[in-house]
Amino acid sequence: MEYIVSARKYRPLSFDTVVGQAALTTTLKNAVKSGKLAHAYLFCGPRGVGKTTCARIFAKAINCQNPTAEGEACNECESCQSFNEQRSLNIFELDAASNNSVEHIKTLMEQTRIPPQLGKYKVFIIDEVHMLSTAAFNAFLKTLEEPPAHVIFILATTEKHKILPTILSRCQIYDFERMTIRNTVDHLKHVAQQEGITYEEQALAVIAEKADGGMRDALSIFDQAASFCQGNITYEKVIEDLNVLDSENYFKIIDFSLENKVSDIMILLNSVINKGFDGGLLIQGLAKHVRNVLMARDPQTLPLLEVSDQMRERYQEQAKRCQIPFLYDALKLMNQCDINYRQSSNKRLLVELTLIEVAQITQPAEDGASAGRKPRRLKSLFRTLIQQSQPKKTTAPQVAAAAPAVSSSQLGDSPSASAASSPSNTSQTSTASYTSKASTASKPNISLDGIGFSWNKLRNKGEKTTKGGMQIIPGSINLPTGQEKETNAQFTQTDLEFQWMSMCNRMPQKYSGIATRMKNMNPLIVDFPAVEVVVDNELIKQEIEDIQGSISKTLQIYLRNNQLKLSVRVAEQKEKVKILTRKEQYEQMAEKNPAVAKLQQAFDLELA
């Protein structure tokens, strides 16, 4: 006997046998019963969900001479018999993937003019209609808008967005849903019973998950698994045949993470990779597993788990041990790993780091240092430093004992004074006074503002730095201290030029223009400690004089000489240096060094 694959052998022949499309099949049956038929239908949805099958069943029911009360075909009349024997002249099927030209559509339109020989309608089923060219769509448009009364078009496609809006507006659109895992498993059970194949429900769930919502794919995988298992479909054999990662690995990783067992997770990851599985596949599967655990925590979201009853119980059991913050953080880490996986040059290391971070989520935040621990926040470090620098607090009895005794004679002889001189009042007063003074004296003034510096501090906050009421140029955190400061230190021309250039580099952003011009100036020691700066014109001199006080104060501090005086003058005509062009600079270089000219001639160089 000829073997027929399950996808063809168990293909639905009536609306009642269609799996997972109850709403659509009910609508089509009602249309057949009432006789209110549109001239064009569009069936769209993912692959293997029954679009072409429903189109054939609908076409047979339309032409059935004795339809049932439910809107099904009778399968006994001549029209149904001819359709079942594939000799019907009223139902035409066209594959638009291979017949997508204008000529094919024109030939099809010619056939619409001929009325049906048997039955009421001529039905044209065009599969994969999105493959038609734009010209073919335009040729088909007029006939689709006003077809003959005896013609019905049924279009099927997996990519509705590729169809012209003018076509969509002339059709009744039916969106087919993906098969749920529960519907797929139930149908596979029926097929297994018909074929006499034993099975495990968990194995059928793996097949349904692998099919990704397509019944045709599920039946094809079922045939493959049945051949490998020789009539006894078990979970272990199915995951071996399909090369699917065992879900037990995901349960173990989460259990190890809750116990912070990083080493066991690394060993498990190594065994998974050695079996040929990709690290990215493990992360994706683990993220889906954590999502299922999160759904299993709440009875309201429990129906969202598309798994077998046995797996649902395992998810619920593990969900009781997992806290919601742990699941949220784990999902976030694995999602970030999935995003960065393709760009990573060391993919295994990325997966290992992600699993290590997942295993550390439940570790105490303020635990001692250990290997593999996540870095702590700087705030915790600073808090530890502050606590170490504070003195230990003295208890109240010790302070009271240490406080000096106050006699009544020292307080005076007035009634009020004698009332205050009672032992209890005296002890409380002296204790409070001593405690407040001790706490005030022993509390250290710790400020963290000076730890580190940024460009904003150098540019913005630096303008507020003052020394003796005069602003100084910011940029150094090692200003001379009071012990090292000298008021009459000697400095050389080299020291002056170095501090001048350093000062120009440290000037705030708003003085960037004058700082650039100052870098080209050469301050000179004319009569120690007097310093003179020669500028080119009065405009630059005015800009220098506006900040002359800050410049002088900065040089005094960094050169350690408070007697330093800065003067600015405009250069005389004879002191002005001519600015040479590039060509004049090259000629001057060639005159001093003839080898430069020879180099230019040898390589035929041109001045840029």
CATH superfamily of the domain spanning 6-177: P-loop containing nucleotide triphosphate hydrolases (3.40.50.300)
d(CA 166, CA 138): 9
Please compute the mean of the pLDDT values over residues 483-504 and round it to a whole number.
81
pLDDT at residue 9, rounded to an integer: 86
Please compute the mean of the pLDDT values over residues 45-62 and round it to a whole number.
90
* 40 neighbors 172 (Cβ within 8 angstroms): yes
d(CA 591, CA 593): 6
Closest CA to 65 of 55, 77, 83: 77
For residue 385, pLDDT over 60 is answered with no
DSSP per-residue codes, 23-72: HHHHHHHHHHHHT---SEEEEE-STTSSHHHHHHHHHHHHH-SS--TTS-
Highest averaged pLDDT of the listed ranges 22-36, 104-118, 353-367, 420-434: 22-36
pLDDT at residue 439, rounded to an integer: 42
Please compute the mean of the pLDDT values over residues 478-489 and round it to a whole number.
56
φ, ψ dihedrals at 370, nearest 5°: -155, 165
d(CA 460, CA 507): 10
pLDDT at residue 332, rounded to an integer: 93
As given in the structure block, the two tokens for residue 73 are 């075909």
For residue 200, pLDDT over 60 is answered with yes
Using the 8-state DSSP alphabet, how is residue 162 labeled?
G
* 487 neighbors 556 (Cβ within 8 angstroms): no
φ, ψ dihedrals at 411, nearest 5°: -85, -15
505-560: pLDDT as tens digits: 888 888 888 888 888 888 998 888 899 988 888 888 888 888 888 898 898 899 88
104-149: pLDDT as tens digits: 888 888 888 888 877 788 899 999 888 888 888 888 888 888 888 8
As given in the structure block, the two tokens for residue 182 are 């529960």
- Residue 484 CB partners (closer than 8 Å, separation 6+): none
pLDDT at residue 387, rounded to an integer: 58
* 42 neighbors 174 (Cβ within 8 angstroms): yes
The pLDDT confidence band at residue 484, using thresholds 50, 70 and 90, is very low
* 187 neighbors 74 (Cβ within 8 angstroms): no
For residue 86, pLDDT over 90 is answered with no
d(CA 121, CA 115): 8
307-323: pLDDT as tens digits: 777 888 888 999 999 99
Domain 183-359, CATH class in plain words: mainly alpha
d(CA 427, CA 420): 10
Burial annotation 307-331 (CB, 10 A radius, 16+ → b, else e) = bbeebbebbbebbeebeeebbebbb
386-412: pLDDT as tens digits: 555 555 544 444 434 334 443 433 434
For residue 462, pLDDT over 90 is answered with no
Please compute the mean of the pLDDT values over residues 140-160 and round it to a whole number.
88
This prediction has a pTM of 0.55
pLDDT at residue 139, rounded to an integer: 85
pLDDT at residue 266, rounded to an integer: 93
Cis peptide before 415 (omega within 30 of 0): no
pLDDT at residue 474, rounded to an integer: 54
Closest CA to 223 of 450, 494, 3: 3
Percentage of the chain beyond pLDDT 70 is: 78
pLDDT at residue 440, rounded to an integer: 40
Q: Mean pLDDT across the chain, nearest whole number?
A: 79
pLDDT at residue 265, rounded to an integer: 92
* pLDDT top residue among 119 and 30: 30
pLDDT at residue 229, rounded to an integer: 86
**Three-state SS for 95?**
strand
567-584: pLDDT as tens digits: 988 888 666 566 677 788
